[in-house]
Structures are given as C-alpha cells and as structure tokens.
Structure 1
Amino acid sequence: MAIMDLRNDSDGWLVLWLEPLGEDRWLKPGETVHIRSDHDGDDAPFTVDRLEDDDEAAGIANIAVWVNGGAAEVTDSSGTRLESGHQRPEEVTKKWSARLRQMHGDTAPDPIPVGGPKRNFYVDRGHAVTDRSRDRRH
C-alpha cells in the first residue's frame, strides 16, 4: 500500500483531480487529504502534475495525481472517505451542468452525475486529460 499526503498551502481552492478516474475533490486552504493506493508494482505509485489553466485567475489551483495501477481512495485526516465532488462549490456544479447541456442539448443528464463529473468529459479540460490518458496506456 502507498499513501501520499496532499496539503493545500495556498490562499484559495486547490482542486485535486484523481486520474485516470477524472474525479475531483476541492480542498480549502490548509486542508490535507490522504491518497491511498494498493499499488504493488516496481514503478512509483503516484505521478503528480500541476495544471496551468485559467482557473488560477479565480484563485483556484489544479493538481492531477495519477494513480499508477491499483485501486485508490482519498480520505481526510480522520480516515473518512472523500467522494468525488467533495466540497465542490455549488456555482461550479451549476456551471459544469450548463456546459454539459450546451454540449449535448436535451440528451444531457441533469444534474451532474452521482460521483461527480469525469474530468475528460468537459470541453475546457478534456484535451489535457484525454491526451495524457492515451500517453500513459501506450
């Protein structure tokens, strides 16, 4: 088992994208989460990418933690499991739901599916994750 601690040391939100699952967790300033993987290979259990994007102007930083094999879970300091969408601001959920409807018209699910959005499902983020996921599989 591998465990990685991730702490938001910024003054704004830090969005943890757990990849290749595309799950999001939102960390408040000073908050720490623990990412656990049952990885047992010889390679590193996690790879971390800091994502540069337009969200920084709004005080939101994004980081992708790639789980390199095995199952993974995210917990808080007390050991409580944190599901995708943890602390996601309501206005973000509304914005993402509107984009989803815009992309798919009347066939879009409403609201965001249970378990949160998949990062590669959204136009503004899809290309980076899709390309990276493809690179990691080959």
Structure 2
Amino acid sequence: MKPGEALTVRSEAEGVDVWFDTYISKGCVTVWLYEDGDPYKIVGDYVVVDASGTRLDSGHQRPRGQRWSAGGPIID
C-alpha cells in the first residue's frame, strides 16, 4: 500500500464469527482471519477491496522480485 491508501478485508463466510489479526512490518501488511478466534481455524473465504471497491489480489503492489516467507517479506 502507498501512503494515504485504504483497504478493507471482509469475510465472505456466512454464519461464522470471524476474528481478525493484523501484523504490520516494514513493507508488509498481513491480515489473518480466524473462526471464533481459534488460530487453528483459518478462514479462507474472504475478499480485500480498496476504497473504491476494487478487488485486490494477494501481494497488491508488492515490489517485483521481493522474496517472501510465511513470516513476512525478506528484506535484503
């Protein structure tokens, strides 16, 4: 994301109490969705949109060639 941009993460799972966990690190925003707050029940039915409602793909504006791991971006 660039300064001033906004995004919305919303669950599309119906009938599920979804909790959100957000991690912010240099060059990266990661959002995890959990059913009932249980970190072993990851919700995979979600959508991310920008302020105009445009759907964003995973890695939106990630710099080309940036390496990635489960823990976040690898900053060389």
Name the TM-score class by shorter chain: 0.5 to 0.7
* CA distance in structure 1 between the partners assigned to 2:59 and 2:28 by the alignment: 14
After superposition, where does 1:1-138 map in structure 2 within 5 Å? 27-39=1-13, 40-41=15-16, 43=17, 45-51=18-24, 60-68=26-34, 69=43, 71-90=45-64, 93=65, 95-96=66-67, 119-120=69-70, 125=71
Supply the RMSD in Å over aligned alpha carbons: 2.6
Write 1 or 2 for the structure with the bigger share of strand: 2
Q: Which runs of 4+ in 1 moved over 4 A?
A: none
Cα offsets for 1:7-46 (capped at 9, x unmatched): xxxxxxxxxxxxxxxxxxxx111110011112322x4x13
Is contact 1:38–1:72 with CA below 8 Å preserved after alignment? yes
Q: CA deviation at 1:86?
A: 1.2
For 1:49 and 1:81, locate their aligned partners in 2 and report how far apart those are by CA, in whole Å. 19
> Which position in structure 2 is the counterpart of 1:17?
none
- Inter-partner Cα distance in structure 1 for 2:29 and 2:49: 17
CA distance in 1, matches of 2:51, 2:45: 19
Q: Which runs of 5+ in 2 are unaligned?
A: 35-42
Q: Percent identity?
A: 38
Structure having the higher Rg:
1
Cα 1:49–1:80, aligned 2, differ >3 Å: closer, same or farther? closer
Alpha carbons of structure 1 residues 48 and 73: separation in structure 2 relative to 1, 3 Å: same
Supply the AA of the counterpart residue of 1:67.
L
Count of residues paired in the alignment = 63
Q: Which residue matches 1:9?
A: none
Larger relative contact order (CA 8 Å, sep ≥ 6): 2
Residue 18 of structure 1: aligned partner: none
TM-score where L is the length of structure 2: 0.60
